[in-house]
Copies of this chain bind each other. A is one copy, B any other.
Amino acid sequence: MSCAVYICMREFIVVGHKAATDGQFSLNDLPGSAGRMDIMCRCVNSALFLSHDLRRNVTIYLILLGEPEPPKIVKFSGHDVRYLNPDERSSGSLIKKALELKARIRWKESTPGVWVRQGNLEDLLAELNSDEGVGESVDEDTGNKLYYLHENGTDIRNKMEVTLPQRATFILGDHVGMTSDEEQKIMDAGAQSINVGPLSLHADHCIILVNNELDR
Q: A: which residues have CB within 8 A of B? A: 5, 27-28, 30-31, 38-39, 42, 45-46, 49-52, 85-90, 175, 196-202, 205, 208-209, 212, 215-216
Contacts and interface: CB of A to CB of B under 8 A. Distances in A.
Given A38-B87, A88-B87, A88-B88, A212 B197 contact: yes
Report the copy number of this chain in the oligomer: 2
Which 7 interchain pairs have the tightest Cβ spacing? Answer: A51-B200, A38-B87, A208-B208, A88-B88, A197-B212, A31-B87, A205-B208
Contacts of A28: 27-28, 89
B89 A199 contact: no
B200 A215 contact: no
A35 to B, nearest CB: 13
16 contacts: A27-B28, A31-B90, A38-B86, A42-B42, A46-B205, A49-B202, A49-B205, A51-B175, A51-B199, A51-B201, A51-B202, A52-B175, A196-B212, A198-B215, A201-B212, A209-B209
